[in-house]
Structure 1
Amino acid sequence: MTEVDAYLEGLPPVTAAVIRGYYDRARELVPEAEDGSKYAMACLTYRGRGLISVIRTEAGFSMFPFGSEPVALARPLLGGLPTTRGGVQFTADRLVPDAAYVLMVEWSRNHIDAALARRR
């Protein structure tokens, strides 16, 4: 069982379904993504680096694209959802808009590709 599967299994079904939807969408955008764990959070990784993590919180959910820049770039598309330097907070009633999510996931993938290309 993967880290993401284990995390989802421990959640109420409705909560797990919200999170699973975001992970499924990320896998559509980045088919090479793999389940993993970074900073003690279940997440999807890409080329060994954190791509996106979506977790349950006391107030609802938080999404972390493993950097502050994707959150800053997506902020105008978030419809006023609260953000932190590196995350987006949302609820089952106010989900992250797809355009904002796609921007964050694709930015993270491209950033990872660029960083690894510089190492060659």
Structure 2
Amino acid sequence: MGTVSEYLGTIDGPDRAALELVYSIARETVPEAEEGTSYAMAALIYRGKGLLAAVQGKKFLSIYPYSGSVVASNLNLLDEFVTTSGSIHFSAANQLPEATVRRIVQARRVEIDAKAG
């Protein structure tokens, strides 16, 4: 799929703006993150691990923090969104709040740091 920048170049309109916002918040939260690919998705990579991917599906946008425990530990912030064990679905019209994205990214960073020792 290529890097985040390449992937975002394939999307137009409100969906692109919504995904760009997610990536912008993630980059501010973890400035050391680099663009790459994880699980065949364009993603931000931190310490060699997938930090976050944000993608466009046919019916919704999704973020993948590459951790079911990160999703589960933030369910209290996600009442108005559909979640799976590893993803959070949203739309350009009903975006994730900035504070929620920031908290998810921070939680994933802590998880990666803890596993790295």
Q: How many aligned residue pairs are there? A: 116
Scaled by the length of structure 2, the TM-score of the pair is 0.93
Bigger Rg, which one: 1
Tell me whether 14-23 or 56-65 shows the greater mean CA deviation. 14-23
Q: Which stretch has the larger CA shift, 81-90 or 13-22?
A: 13-22
Partner amino acid, structure 2, of 1:26: A
Report the CA distance between 1:100 and its aligned residue.
2.1
Counterpart of 2:42 in structure 1 is: 42
TM-score (norm 1): 0.91
Query: What residue number does 2:74 align with?
Result: 74
Q: What's 1:13 paired with?
A: 13
In structure 2, list runs of 5 or more residues that go unmatched. Answer: none
What SS class does the counterpart of residue 59 from structure 1 fall into?
coil
Q: Which amino acid aligns with 1:40?
A: A
* Aligned-partner Cα distance in 2 for 1:74–1:97: 13
Off by >4 Å, runs of 4+ in structure 1: none
Q: Kindly, what percent of the aligned residue pairs are identical?
A: 36
What pairs up with 1:1-120 in 2 under 5 angstroms?
3-117=3-117
2:14–2:92 contact (8 Å) kept in structure 1: no
